[in-house]
Amino acid sequence: MINFVQFGAGRIGAIHAASLAASDDAALRYVVDVNREAAERLGKKYGAKVVDTKTALADPDVHVALIASSTDTHADLVVAAAKAGKAIFCEKPIDLSLKRVDTCLEVVKQTGVPMLVGFNRRVDPSFRALHDRLRAGEIGEVEQVIISSRDPGLPPLEYLKVSGGQFRDMTIHDFDMARWLLGEEPIEVYAAGSCVVDPAVGKIGDIDQAMVILRTQSGKLCHINNSRRASYGYDQRIEVHGARGRLMAGNKTPTTVEVANGTAVSADKPLHFFLERYAEAYRAELAAFLDALRKRKPMPVGADDGRQALVLAEAALKSHRTGRPVKVSSIGGRRA
Amino acid sequence: MINFVQFGAGRIGAIHAASLAASDDAALRYVVDVNREAAERLGKKYGAKVVDTKTALADPDVHVALIASSTDTHADLVVAAAKAGKAIFCEKPIDLSLKRVDTCLEVVKQTGVPMLVGFNRRVDPSFRALHDRLRAGEIGEVEQVIISSRDPGLPPLEYLKVSGGQFRDMTIHDFDMARWLLGEEPIEVYAAGSCVVDPAVGKIGDIDQAMVILRTQSGKLCHINNSRRASYGYDQRIEVHGARGRLMAGNKTPTTVEVANGTAVSADKPLHFFLERYAEAYRAELAAFLDALRKRKPMPVGADDGRQALVLAEAALKSHRTGRPVKVSSIGGRRA
Amino acid sequence: MINFVQFGAGRIGAIHAASLAASDDAALRYVVDVNREAAERLGKKYGAKVVDTKTALADPDVHVALIASSTDTHADLVVAAAKAGKAIFCEKPIDLSLKRVDTCLEVVKQTGVPMLVGFNRRVDPSFRALHDRLRAGEIGEVEQVIISSRDPGLPPLEYLKVSGGQFRDMTIHDFDMARWLLGEEPIEVYAAGSCVVDPAVGKIGDIDQAMVILRTQSGKLCHINNSRRASYGYDQRIEVHGARGRLMAGNKTPTTVEVANGTAVSADKPLHFFLERYAEAYRAELAAFLDALRKRKPMPVGADDGRQALVLAEAALKSHRTGRPVKVSSIGGRRA
Amino acid sequence: MINFVQFGAGRIGAIHAASLAASDDAALRYVVDVNREAAERLGKKYGAKVVDTKTALADPDVHVALIASSTDTHADLVVAAAKAGKAIFCEKPIDLSLKRVDTCLEVVKQTGVPMLVGFNRRVDPSFRALHDRLRAGEIGEVEQVIISSRDPGLPPLEYLKVSGGQFRDMTIHDFDMARWLLGEEPIEVYAAGSCVVDPAVGKIGDIDQAMVILRTQSGKLCHINNSRRASYGYDQRIEVHGARGRLMAGNKTPTTVEVANGTAVSADKPLHFFLERYAEAYRAELAAFLDALRKRKPMPVGADDGRQALVLAEAALKSHRTGRPVKVSSIGGRRA
């Protein structure tokens, strides 16, 4: 049995706990949350004890720290878990400060504990299949990557205020996809942002629209488009152009029903948001983590991947603010 | 130059005259129509003389009789044209009476003039591609054919009264598709019809809904479904199942535009009716006729094809009326 | 807690046991299977005891008998469970003999226990959505139903020999869909079958291809096409034509990836077979059963639905054998 | 009758001449081409005389100069035609030099002759429908425009050498689409180009890949991606995101046939290149020109539209070369 302590008993925590329960050889031993009530509820459902961080990490029979608490607690928990010798499953982002991420990852590196960062799109069945077929050479060498990633609606302002801004909060997933699919590090980032959905977003210094172009050393190009408002649901599409063809992955829908009438032929709009769209990815993520642990394989998304996506987000933010393309090397050298 | 006399200056006549005008080596010399005004209008547009049948067929420089007049005139014109030694392009059906068709085709056979019957779906680019890929063995031996063929709305009762009924008027096209795609003659027909759109249709002894099953000697099966009411436009789909796969041809739309909004993702409904859906097929039909004439090749749809589709329509009508499957051989032996 | 005894620890049994485990208020108490090893394995995984039928049904704390054993045991188990006062979840078919089904359902009726028959397509999200939108009037009154239902490949001959034949084994699901969607009982069945995939199937008196037409009193028509060989996967499509439009539900695919290259634009073939295609439906089925139990609502698919689909299968078989349409009333009057 | 002189008897010239021949009230009177043989061939086919420029423009019965000759002759012919008082239908681009375009358009402006520039995508049925539905408010205010525009393969180097480079030759169409769909002038252009298909393209100072971001004053964003190599055919897609939804227009295919087999479900790849993809647009363009002439309405694409697209191309080229975004105002002020 692989025993877990889970930090965070909220929405994402509930998903991971359910995935754990469906596993044959993993068990939730402890739940830790500042919201005692939420922790008790989750603990009761899955037979886990509610304790504090120290107690949980001190238990030698706990093998994994699953960190699904609020963003500002991630880095400290990663450090504490690493020092306690636990394997780490950490929801993205590790932290909103690149400096703090680096300090934190230094500890992880020294302790040598395995760590997965929660970019779950890498294990989404469609994106994973696209990636694997790409790497298998089905369309030849990559030339361009185009990522459409649009949320169904603005989150509450309270959320936005602590989110780190659109590039760090939302585009960061797309930066990870870009790196993964390009198969080569971007060296330059140009980002244009604007605020057209709600002026209140602009007032807190954030944006609700963005378009990005990434460029690699060898001339591969990548475009990302983001919006906080896709009234038709969560729009998550990827296309990759190679020397011999194009691979695309499209949206998923609740049903396959379509109606034809005097007006149009209409199908379902896409699944509403990430909980629905990536339900399979969340399950696959925990399975992939456990598989890597058992077989002592590299994690499907490593600690360094978490860092590099943040570097691109920082570069995008700087580009947006200065109105100029930004060299990635000016943000933070690649961690050795 | 291949010179034409065209009988009929109505809606279909106008389409054929335009196709003729776009041809490099064919010319419309005469137009014949009981509606003198319509004939004059068409003649003027394309530089053709308006004459009577006798005059037109007596001209030795006329090579082709294109028959696009009302159904009840087809058989007589075919006979007259054949006796005058003209090649024949005859809109479907040759006649609504199988007996008269046989008499008529006997003359055609004796004179040896080339004759095409206007089942234009055989030259529709999509159906033609499906057929050719099927015959090329792409999905192996045919096992089942499924034809959906649905009109956008009921024609006027006046039309229905002289139409010969749904099987002879509408399903006849699908019977031709079935024979062409099965690659083997149906030996038995079961047809179920009903009248649900308008009771007035039932009062004149016709139906507005039909489902048919055809069976061949070797066990291939074919289903046809018809309706006089597809509120979303002209529904024309074919699927063929073979030992190694399935070929389908779907509907065509005016544009490729789709809209996604809070309700659905909606595309264009199909093109409205046969004039729009088969516009390319009408052009291709005349081109194929001219090509066969020039190269002395067999016509893409021969006189006998016109007869056999009618035989299946008769069998379907008998099945519908008796409530039992009908042997095709009981309707009319295959013409030698 | 709603306690279950499950009969059958095979492939379908494993699915239902997993669904039970995910439920909040249902528990698997006993597993019964002639294959002791399979029963032990399943029991161990979900904390259930392996016992015999008598013991399980004698336990007053058992509320539900879930029957997922081999077809020939269903009827006896239904009777025993009903007499023991247990609610019944019975995989289809109740039995292959209509007479035995009637005897069995008589007992169920007398005891008044709730009973669900496992036509899981009724709770498949796409078919359910299509049905509900149809009943909500979205396309007006039903005119035609067209069901394409094709298996990826022939089952082993050993299976076919005890299957009851294609109409009772495979088409029976489509007959249930037809009744459900037509909203009116079919009164006549015409079925044409043939054997083209493997002559061995013909030798044991079965078929591997079928086409069916059903007709209702008011003139609604329904077509079903079946094949035991769809080399591209499990083909499960439904279309319903109504006075104001058409509703369709199509196939599901493993991913949304498509590739465009010098040859074609290619998407995934459909999910392989029923375990993949109806994975959600299996889960939804148990949830719907529990919901109906808790709220004392009628079952989504009742005992009588199981019987009526079998009546249509019998009618189809008779039609196929006699070559004539068969009145449904000649098979077995509607149970009062 | 509206009489035309057509300059250019090449590939595009042949298309326009055929469209003219199909018109009811327009006639091709003269053909002018340095290639005498090509001119004679076209003249003979459509009953037009082969003359020199001077003769043609001196004929008072000539109303329109249709300029479909080589790019370097456009500006002189526009000036000559304008001075002769002829209406002008000019293939894009007016010229590759913005200065020369301005001189040329000054003459057009002074003479007041109507002038259409050949951005035929504006009359393509799908793009036109998308545009009209957008302007009708179907998805609310525009937020982002995304244009994918990819050629099937590299043109010959000889062509590229005189093409003005990818931005002026290829992207110029997309810049026109962008302006038309944004409904607001871009004020800044960022363009990233690279050469990955063939190093020979790089050696002559050109690129074969490009990604562009345009930004308008109010914060609307537009992305364009280009490639000279789409091995699957001509990829021409547009999506527009608005406050209340998304409008998309996709590729067109030769047929609607799809095949399902043990590997995939495969449809036709897109039509090969612009002659096939925009065949309808070419016809619609001439019809729209004639309609505007007859009704003295503004041209669907005016002379100034030709200029502004070139301004954006210049800005993109400068951005690509300097590696920085470029203000459109720095290239050439908007013509009054």
pLDDT tens-digit map of B162-213: 999 999 999 999 999 999 999 999 999 999 999 999 999 999 999 999 999 9
* Cα–Cα distances in angstroms (integers) from residue C62 to residues B114, C83, C235, in the given order: 81, 13, 39
Name the residue in chain D with its Cα closest to that of B21: D22
Asked if the Cβ–Cβ distance from B259 to D125 is below 8 Å, we say: no
* Calpha distance C74→C306 (Å, rounded): 12
Q: D112: Cβ–Cβ under 8 A, 6 or more apart, which residues?
A: none
Inter-chain CB proximity B225 and C220 less than 8 Å: no
pLDDT in single tens digits along all 336 residues of chain A = 899 999 999 999 999 999 998 888 899 999 999 999 999 999 998 999 999 999 999 999 999 999 999 999 999 999 999 999 999 999 999 999 999 999 999 999 999 999 999 999 999 999 999 999 999 999 999 999 999 999 999 999 999 999 999 999 999 999 999 999 999 999 999 999 999 999 999 999 999 999 999 999 999 999 999 999 999 999 999 999 999 999 999 999 999 999 999 999 999 999 999 999 999 999 999 999 999 999 999 999 999 999 999 999 999 999 999 999 999 999 975 544
Residue A330, chain D, CB below 8 Å: the answer is no
Neighbours of chain A (3+ CB pairs under 8 A): B, C, D
Which pLDDT band, with edges at 50, 70 and 90, does D21 fall under?
confident
A258–C247 CB contact, under 8 Å: yes
What pLDDT sits at residue A5? Answer: 98
- Mean pLDDT score, D282-299: 96
Rounded CA-CA distance B139/A167 in Å is 50
Chain C: touching chains (3 or more CB pairs < 8 Å): A, B, D
Compare CB distances from B251 to D254, D256, D260 and report the shortest one's residue.
D256
Q: Is A41 exposed, middle or buried (0-12, 13-18, 19+ CB in 10 A)?
A: middle
What confidence score (pLDDT) does residue D332 get?
74
Bond before A93 cis per omega within 30 degrees: yes
Nearest to A195 among D219, D241, D325 (CB): D219
Q: Which tokens hold the place of C151?
A: 């298996």
What integer pLDDT is reported at residue C263 of this predicted model?
97
- Measured between CB atoms, does D229 come within 8 Å of chain C? no
A-chain CB neighbours of C126 within 8 Å are 255-257
Q: Which chains form contacts with chain B, at 3 or more CB pairs under 8 Å?
A: A, C, D
Residue in D148, D98, D171 with CA at minimum distance from that of residue D320: D171
C265/D231 CB distance under 8 A: no
Instruction: Report pLDDT digits (tens) over C244-273.
Output: 999 999 999 999 999 999 999 999 999 999
Closest to B232 (Cβ–Cβ): which among A233, A265, A267? A265
SS (H, E, C) chain A: CEEEEEECCCHHHHHHHHHHHHCCCEEEEEEECCCHHHHHHHHHHHCCEECCHHHHHHCCCCCEEEECCCHHHHHHHHHHHHHCCCEEEECCCCCCCHHHHHHHHHHHHHHCCCEEECCHHHHCHHHHHHHHHHHCCCCCCEEEEEEEEECCCCCCHHHHHCCCCHHHHHHHHHHHHHHHHHCCCEEEEEEEEECCCCHHHHHCCCCCEEEEEEEECCCCEEEEEEECCCCCCCEEEEEEEECCEEEEECCCCCCCEEEECCCCEEECCCCCCHHHHCHHHHHHHHHHHHHHHHHCCCCCCCHHHHHHHHHHHHHHHHHHHHCCCEEHHHCCCCCC
> Considering only alpha carbons, which residue of chain B is nearest residue A261?
B232
C281 touches chain A (CB under 8 A): no
Shortest Cα distance from A70 to chain D (angstroms)?
A: 31
Of D325, D192, D330, C69, nearest in space to A323 by CA: D325
Could you give the percent of chain C with pLDDT greater than 70?
99
Chain D nearest C-alpha distance from A97 (Å): 27
Query: Taking CB atoms and an 8 Å limit, are C144 and B209 in contact across chains?
Result: yes
Contacts of A244 in chain D (CB under 8 A): 231
Out of A139, A250, A255, name the one closest to residue C249 (CB): A255
Cis peptide before A300 (omega within 30 of 0): no
| CB atoms D245 and B252 under 8 Å | no
Q: Is B199 on the interface with C (CB under 8 A)?
A: no
pLDDT tens-digit profile of B275-304?
999 999 999 999 999 999 999 999 999 999
CB atoms within 10 A of CB A229: 20
Name which of B126, B254, B258 is nearest D257 (Cβ-Cβ): B126
Give the percent of chain C with pLDDT over 90. 96
Residue A139 distance to chain D (closest CA, Å): 9
Which of B138, B244, B257 is closest, CB to CB, to D248?
Answer: B257
The Cα angle at residue D71 between residues D67 and D75, in degrees rounded to 5: 65
User: Which H or E run includes B248?
Assistant: strand B245-249
Domains in chain A, start-ordered, CATH in brackets?
2-113 (3.40.50.720), 122-330 (3.30.360.10)
Residues B134/B139/B142/B147 CA torsion (nearest 10 deg): -70
| Chain B residues touching D246 at Cβ < 8 A | 259-261
DSSP summary character for residue C190: E
| Interface residue D231 vs chain C (CB under 8 A) | yes
Q: D192 contacts in A (CB within 8 Å)?
A: 190, 213, 215, 221
Residue C24's pLDDT band (cuts 50, 70, 90): confident
Q: Is B267 on the interface with A (CB under 8 A)?
A: yes
Give the percent of chain B with pLDDT over 70. Answer: 99
Q: Token pair for residue A139?
A: 């369309």
**Looking at beta carbons, which residues of chain A come within 8 Å of D322?**
none
pLDDT tens digits, residue range D129-175? Answer: 999 999 999 999 999 999 999 999 999 999 999 999 999 999 999 99
Does the pLDDT value for residue B333 go beyond 60? Answer: no
Backbone angles phi, psi at C182, to 5 degrees: -65, -35
Give the per-residue pLDDT at C336: 40
Which single residue is written with the structure tokens 């050696």? D203
Using alpha carbons, select from D3, D54, D12, D56 the residue that is nearest to residue D31.
D56
Mean pLDDT, all residues of chain D: 96
Report yes or no: B231 and B237 within 8 Å, Cβ to Cβ. Answer: no
> Which chains are adjacent to chain D, needing at least 3 Cβ pairs under 8 Å?
A, B, C
The predicted model gives C70-79 an average pLDDT of 96
CA distance D35 to chain B (A): 23
User: By the CB < 8 Å criterion, does A268 face chain B?
Assistant: yes
- Measure C108 CA to nearest chain A CA, in Å: 35
Can you give the pLDDT at residue D22? 83
Residue in C146, C209, C243 nearest the CB of B219: C209
Q: What CA–CA distance (Å, rounded) separates C224 from C163?
A: 19
Backbone angles phi, psi at D6, to 5 degrees: -110, 125
Whether the pLDDT of residue D333 is over 90: the answer is: no
Substitution target from D19, D127, D134, D255 for chain B, most B beta carbons within 10 A: D255
Q: Which chain C residues touch D271 with a CB distance below 8 Å?
A: none
Fill in the amino acid letter for B204.
Answer: I
Q: Can you give the pLDDT at residue B336?
A: 39
Q: Which residues contact A218 (CB under 8 A, 6 or more apart)?
A: A184, D196
Contact residues on chain B for D140, CB-CB shorter than 8 A: none
C144 touches chain B (CB under 8 A): yes
Q: How many angstroms separate the CA of residue D336 from the nearest CA in chain B?
A: 35
B133 has a pLDDT exceeding 50: yes
Q: Do C256 and A249 touch (CB under 8 A)?
A: yes
- Per-residue pLDDT at D336 exceeds 60: no
pLDDT at C333: 57
pLDDT tens track for B41-90: 999 989 999 999 999 999 999 999 999 999 999 999 999 999 999 999 99
Q: How close does chain D come to B334, measured CA to CA in Å?
A: 32
Give me the pLDDT at residue A7, please. 98
Structure tokens at A85: 């010798």
Closest chain B C-alpha to D57 CA, distance in angstroms: 29
Instruction: Say whether residue A263 is in contact with chain B using an 8 A CB cutoff.
Output: yes
* Residue whose tokens read 């067109």: D252
Pairing of β C186-194 and β A49-50: unpaired
Are residues B267 and A266, on separate chains, in Cβ contact within 8 Å?
yes
The pLDDT value given to residue A333: 57
- Give the minimum alpha-carbon distance from C251 to chain A in angstroms, rounded to a whole number: 7
Distance from CA of A190 to the nearest CA of B (A): 29
